[in-house]
């Protein structure tokens, strides 16, 4: 069993969102970087759970990013990956990133490729599907549960208002979200072990950029809250009915 | 050349996201001077031609039984055949659960640039760019697509589902080559009688301030009166007071209803990240310093156990319920 987990770095969930260079770049000053929560809590921990049941399983991590992605990938190794690969290029185009991951996946002949549901900065939810297409593999997106039974995986995926239970033979690509696994924190042994684990840096393959970010924009500030006295529920209901017209 | 809109369905019913995609796609077609066309995969229990009222002139239908359930690989392949035969240059999806599965695959297959999470019509003044939601609703990005074929996945609840009043569409039975699905769907569990949170126009949400699962009766009652879905903060789902699928926020579901009523929720930045696209936010919290009030349109500082029953009474009066 060989598993490839896609790890991206994202700004800490409390980071201030601001832009520089005429609103073309995210202002990274003072920003703490974390493992994208979907990649960490769900994709990576799921891989670790599989390995706990089957110690012969191997977990490789891949990240597409510059040297600034290394602390995050080291932390992922401390949680439980066996080896990591960093593809040395920075890009904001999903197809370009997916092309890099697909190349690594092809070379490693993985049984399972796990990605997060989406990155919490660009919210594209695209890379898993693109990697699957580039590899010609089946794809189950937005998975909340995954059980491995020999050569098949039983996966539960989110649909509007419920869930769908599916079965698919490996190799396959799955994008992971809440429900998949419980969040963990790295322990001291893991952190020590991570120092000696292999982190290989490779150069990107040629691939196209299909999109690019022209500029960012912040939403207009809220006008401010209108407070209604606690004993005047009638006023609230009246406003929602007559002014806002939502109820 | 045309704009092709994917009309997704679940158990024979057209999804709400598909109606939003149709209204959006028809507007894009009008903007670009192209015709709007749709594609339906699998069996539909509704009248397909009637979807013309959303502004589509022609709908390609691939009625094969194998397409009743989603296998993203097979769907992508079939849609690509429709794109090729119809000469579509813009393809529109809902950025709902199906759109997130298919649109990226189609993008890679056709090498057509994708913008997912679109919140506005494309800007064609200088090239072709689409505004999308980024940083979990805390900002927007304008993303340029550089390829001849362009794919847009529109965020749920960002566009109306209103019909523009066109005639019946011409329905074309499309003959596609369909590979056997590799993803076998073995079951569907739908929460019966509840409004799907991701599609709800009104959401009533509870946090740790409600003290325990036994106090959710008033939340459910208010939701029922308003035809709303129920949601919760992360600790509430983590402690199993409420099911996981109700968890909204940065690491849960991101929603954008017309009205979000937050009861006993502090309004941590990670919670706001999932609800800040709501059009109107009402906050009920006993702490006047709760950060949620900064993001709210209307607020009541008070004890939820007193305030919510009063609201229920007033809504009952409004709706004429005894
Ligand atoms: C990486 C990361 C990701 C996260 N993702 C999410 C996420 O997706 N979604 C999410 O919700 N959280 C998320 N969190 C957690 C978040 O930081 C908060 O801890 C959480 O939202 C708090 O939930 P709460 O408001 O229900 O509880 P609390 O913070 O405990 O707030 C309870 C509120 O209820 C009020 N209250 C108490 N009693 C009453 C009463 N009788 N009447 C009225 N009001 C009352 C209190 O004044 C208080 O404001 C995340 C955290 C991290 C670190
Ligand atoms: N630069 C990257 N390197 C490795 N994996 C990535 C990268 N960007 C995104 N991913 C993976 O793809 C998932 C979806 O990302 P996105 O399509 O950008 O929302 C993430 O949760 C990661 O698992």
In a domain, residue A58? The reply is yes
B164 pLDDT band (50/70/90 cuts)?
confident
pLDDT in tens, B70-109: 999 999 999 999 999 999 999 999 999 999 999 999 999 9
How many domains, chain A? Answer: 1
Arithmetic mean of pLDDT, B141-161: 96
**Rounded alpha-carbon distances, angstroms, from residue A177 to A6, A38, A156:** 13, 6, 11
Name the residue at shortest CA distance from atom 26 of ligand 1. Answer: B207
A17 pLDDT band (50/70/90 cuts)?
very high
Question: Which of ligand 1's atoms lies nearest the C-alpha of B233?
Answer: 11
Question: Which of ligand 1's atoms lies nearest the C-alpha of B269?
Answer: 17
**Rounded alpha-carbon distances, angstroms, from residue B96 to A158, B9, B214, B231:** 10, 11, 32, 18
Distance (Å, whole) CA A247 – CA A237: 8
Distance (Å, whole) CA B63 – CA B56: 19
Q: Do A179 and B244 touch (CB under 8 A)?
A: yes
- CA-nearest residue to A19 within chain B is B139
Contacts of B281 (CB under 8 A, 6+ apart): B259, B260, B262, B275, B292, B295, B296, B297, B298
In a domain, residue A234? The reply is no
Share of chain A above pLDDT 70, in %: 100
Break chain A down into helix, strand, coil percent, rounded to 5: 30, 30, 40
Distance (Å, whole) CA B218 – CA B304: 10
Helix (H, G, I), strand (E, B) or coil at B203: strand
Distance (Å, whole) CA B60 – CA B77: 15
Distance (Å, whole) CA B256 – CA B201: 8
Can you give the pLDDT at residue B142? 98
Name beta bridge partners: B144.
A212, B129
Cβ atoms of A217 and B196 closer than 8 Å: no
In a domain, residue A236? The reply is no
Ligand 2 mean position, distance from CA A166 (Å): 23
Ligand 1 mean position, distance from CA A10 (Å): 22
Q: Which of residues 117-146 of A touch B (CB under 8 A)?
A: 120-130, 132-134, 137-142, 144
Cα B136 to chain centroid, rounded: 15
Cβ atoms of A210 and B113 closer than 8 Å: yes
Q: Helix/strand/coil (H, E, C) string of B268-308?
A: CHHHHHHHCCCCEEEEEECCCCCHHHHHCCEEEECCHHHHH
Cα angle value A103/A107/A110 (rounded, 5°): 100
Arithmetic mean of pLDDT, A184-200: 91
CB nearest B97 (choices: A122, A159, A228): A159
Contacts of B12 (CB under 8 A, 6+ apart): B42, B43, B44, B45, B46
pTM for this predicted structure: 0.96
Can you give the pLDDT at residue B261? 98
Can you give the pLDDT at residue B139? 97
Show the tokens assigned to B264: 């006993």
- Inform me whether the C-beta atom of residue A109 falls under 8 Å from chain B C-beta atoms: no
Q: Do A138 and B183 touch (CB under 8 A)?
A: yes
In a domain, residue A118? The reply is yes
Q: Which of B101, B260, B281 to mutate to test the interface with A (most CBs of A within 10 A)?
A: B101
Name the residue at shortest CA distance from atom 12 of ligand 2. Answer: A127
Q: Which helix (H) or strand (E) holds A128?
A: helix A127-135
Q: Which residues line ligand 1 (CB under 6 A)?
A: A 13, 37; B 207-209, 233-236, 249-252, 264-266, 268, 270-271, 274, 284-287, 290, 303-305
Can you give the pLDDT at residue B218? 98
Helix (H, G, I), strand (E, B) or coil at B44: coil
Arithmetic mean of pLDDT, B151-169: 91
pLDDT in tens, B202-260: 999 999 999 999 999 999 999 999 999 999 999 999 999 999 899 999 999 999 999 99
DSSP-derived secondary structure letter, B123? B
Q: Whose CA is closest to A6, among A47, A63, A55?
A: A63
Can you give the pLDDT at residue B144? 98
Distance (Å, whole) CA A131 – CA B70: 18
Distance (Å, whole) CA B104 – CA B88: 17
- A224 has a pLDDT exceeding 80: yes
pLDDT in tens, A101-137: 999 999 999 999 999 999 999 999 999 999 999 999 9
Specify the pairing of strand A25-26 against strand A19-20.
Answer: antiparallel
- Inform me whether the C-beta atom of residue B152 falls under 8 Å from chain A C-beta atoms: no
Arithmetic mean of pLDDT, B179-189: 96
Q: Whose CA is closest to B246, among B193, B295, B196, B290?
A: B196
- B165 has a pLDDT exceeding 90: no
Can you give the pLDDT at residue A185? 86
Arithmetic mean of pLDDT, A215-221: 94
Residues of chain B neighbouring A124 (CB-CB closer than 8 A): 104, 116-117
Q: Whose CA is closest to A63, among A147, A7, A121, A106?
A: A7
pLDDT in tens, A50-105: 999 999 999 999 999 999 999 999 999 999 999 999 999 999 999 999 999 999 99
- Inform me whether the C-beta atom of residue B211 falls under 8 Å from chain A C-beta atoms: no
DSSP-derived secondary structure letter, A40? I
Q: Which residues line ligand 2 (CB under 6 A)?
A: A 6-8, 36, 38-39, 43, 62-65, 94, 97, 101, 115-116, 118-119, 122-128
Residues of chain B neighbouring A91 (CB-CB closer than 8 A): none
Q: What is the CATH number of the domain that holds A42?
A: 3.40.50.620
Distance (Å, whole) CA B302 – CA A61: 49
A186 pLDDT band (50/70/90 cuts)?
confident
In a domain, residue A175? The reply is yes
- A204 has a pLDDT exceeding 90: yes
Can you give the pLDDT at residue B191? 81
Helix (H, G, I), strand (E, B) or coil at B76: helix
Question: Which of ligand 1's atoms lies nearest the C-alpha of A37?
Answer: 1
Note the helical H segments in A199-241: 233-238
Residues in chain B: 322
Can you give the pLDDT at residue B148? 98
Show the tokens assigned to B182: 């590799």
Q: Which of residues 167-226 of A touch B (CB under 8 A)?
A: 167-169, 172, 178-179, 208-219, 222-223, 225-226
pLDDT in tens, B22-37: 999 999 999 999 999 9
Can you give the pLDDT at residue A221? 86
Show the tokens assigned to A12: 């800490």
Average pLDDT, chain B: 96
In a domain, residue A235? The reply is no
DSSP-derived secondary structure letter, A149? E
**Rounded alpha-carbon distances, angstroms, from residue B317 to A244, B193, B311, B320:** 18, 24, 10, 5
In chain B the domains, ranked by start, together with CATH numbers, are 2-173 (3.40.50.620), 197-319 (3.40.50.1220)
Q: Do A94 and B114 touch (CB under 8 A)?
A: yes
* Residue A209: domain span: 2-221
Contacts of B76 (CB under 8 A, 6+ apart): A133, B102, B105, B106, B109
- B301 has a pLDDT exceeding 90: yes
B315 pLDDT band (50/70/90 cuts)?
very high
- Interface pTM (ipTM) of the complex? 0.96
Cβ atoms of B145 and B129 closer than 8 Å: yes
């Amino acid at each position: 069993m060989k598993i490839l987990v896609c790890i991206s770095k994202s700004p800490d969930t409390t980071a201030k969102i601001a832009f520089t260079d005429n609103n073309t770049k995210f202002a990274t000053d003072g920003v703490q970087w974390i493992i994208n929560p979907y990649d960490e809590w769900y994709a990576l921990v799921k891989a670790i759970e599989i390995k706990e049941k089957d110690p012969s399983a191997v977990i490789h991590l891949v990240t597409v990013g510059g040297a600034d992605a290394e602390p995050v990938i080291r932390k992922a190794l401390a949680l439980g990956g066996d080896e990591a690969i960093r593809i040395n290029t920075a890009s904001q185009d999903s197809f370009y990133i997916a092309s890099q991951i697909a190349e690594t996946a092809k070379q490693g002949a993985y049984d399972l490729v796990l990605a997060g549901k989406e990155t919490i900065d660009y919210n594209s939810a695209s890379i898993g599907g693109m990697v699957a297409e580039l590899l010609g593999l089946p794809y189950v997106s937005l998975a909340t549960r995954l059980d491995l039974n020999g050569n098949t995986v039983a996966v539960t995926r989110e649909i509007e208002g419920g869930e769908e239970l599916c079965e698919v033979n490996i190799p396959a690509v799955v994008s992971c979200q809440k429900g998949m696994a419980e969040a963990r924190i790295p322990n001291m042994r893991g952190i020590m072990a991570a120092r000696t684990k292999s982190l290989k840096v490779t150069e990107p393959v040629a691939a196209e950029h299909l999109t690019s970010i022209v500029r960012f924009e912040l939403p207009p500030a809220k006008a401010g809250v209108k407070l209604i006295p606690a004993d005047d529920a009638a006023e609230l209901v009246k406003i929602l009915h007559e002014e806002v017209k939502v109820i | 050349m045309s704009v092709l809109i994917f009309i997704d369905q679940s158990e024979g019913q057209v999804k709400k996201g598909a109606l939003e995609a149709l209204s959006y796609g028809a507007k894009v077609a009008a903007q670009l001077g192209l015709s709007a066309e749709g594609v339906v995969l699998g069996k539909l229990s509704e009248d397909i031609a009637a979807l013309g009222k959303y502004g589509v002139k022609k709908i390609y239908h691939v009625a094969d039984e194998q397409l009743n359930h989603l296998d993203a690989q097979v769907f992508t392949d079939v849609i690509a055949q429709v794109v090729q035969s119809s000469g579509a240059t813009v393809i529109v999806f809902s950025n709902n659960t199906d759109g997130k599965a298919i649109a990226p695959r189609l993008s890679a297959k056709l090498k057509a640039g994708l913008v997912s999470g679109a919140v506005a019509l494309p800007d064609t003044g200088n090239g072709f760019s689409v505004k999308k939601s980024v940083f979990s609703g805390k900002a927007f990005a304008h993303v340029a697509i550089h390829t001849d074929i362009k794919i847009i996945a529109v965020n749920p609840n960002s566009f109306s589902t209103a019909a523009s009043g066109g005639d019946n569409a011409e329905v074309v039975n499309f003959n596609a080559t369909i590979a056997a699905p590799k993803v076998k769907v073995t079951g569907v569990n739908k929460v019966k009688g509840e409004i799907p949170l991701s599609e709800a126009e009104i959401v009533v949400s509870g946090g740790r301030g409600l003290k325990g699962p036994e106090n959710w009766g008033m939340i459910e009652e208010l939701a029922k009166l308003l035809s709303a879905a129920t949601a919760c903060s992360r600790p509430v789902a983590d402690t199993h007071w409420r099911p996981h699928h109700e968890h909204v926020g940065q690491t849960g579901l991101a929603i954008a209803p017309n009205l979000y009523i937050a009861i006993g929720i502090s309004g941590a930045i990670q919670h706001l990240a999932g609800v800040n696209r709501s059009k109107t936010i009402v906050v009920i919290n006993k702490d006047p310093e709760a950060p949620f009030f900064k993001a709210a349109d209307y607020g009541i500082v008070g004890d939820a156990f007193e305030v919510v029953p009063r609201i229920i009474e007033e809504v009952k009066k409004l709706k004429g319920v005894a």
